Amino acid sequence: MGKEVKVYGFVRCANCKGIIHGVPRAHKLRKLSLSKKRVERIYGGYLCSKCTRETIKEKIRKEFKLV
């Protein structure tokens, strides 16, 4: 009976559940500064780049349809 080791997964996108590239795995997050924990873009660390692109496109489309 040894010590159980936790297996940490990758940070996942909230929309498509894909892996967010550029964000370190969870076991390293405690040692990093806040700027290194997230990707430097809008919705960084929450949505992947593909979903971020689609979200921005949808917002722009809605904005111009209302005008």
Per-residue pLDDT 10s for the chain (67 aa) are: 667 766 677 888 999 999 888 777 767 777 878 777 777 888 888 898 899 999 999 999 998 886 5
Backbone φ and ψ for 66, nearest 5 degrees, come out as: -75, -25
What's the pTM? 0.67
The whole-angstrom separation of Cα 20 and Cα 38 is 10
Cα gap 27→2, rounded to integer Å = 20
Nearest one of 43, 39, 37 to 56, comparing CA atoms: 43
The full length of the chain comes to 67
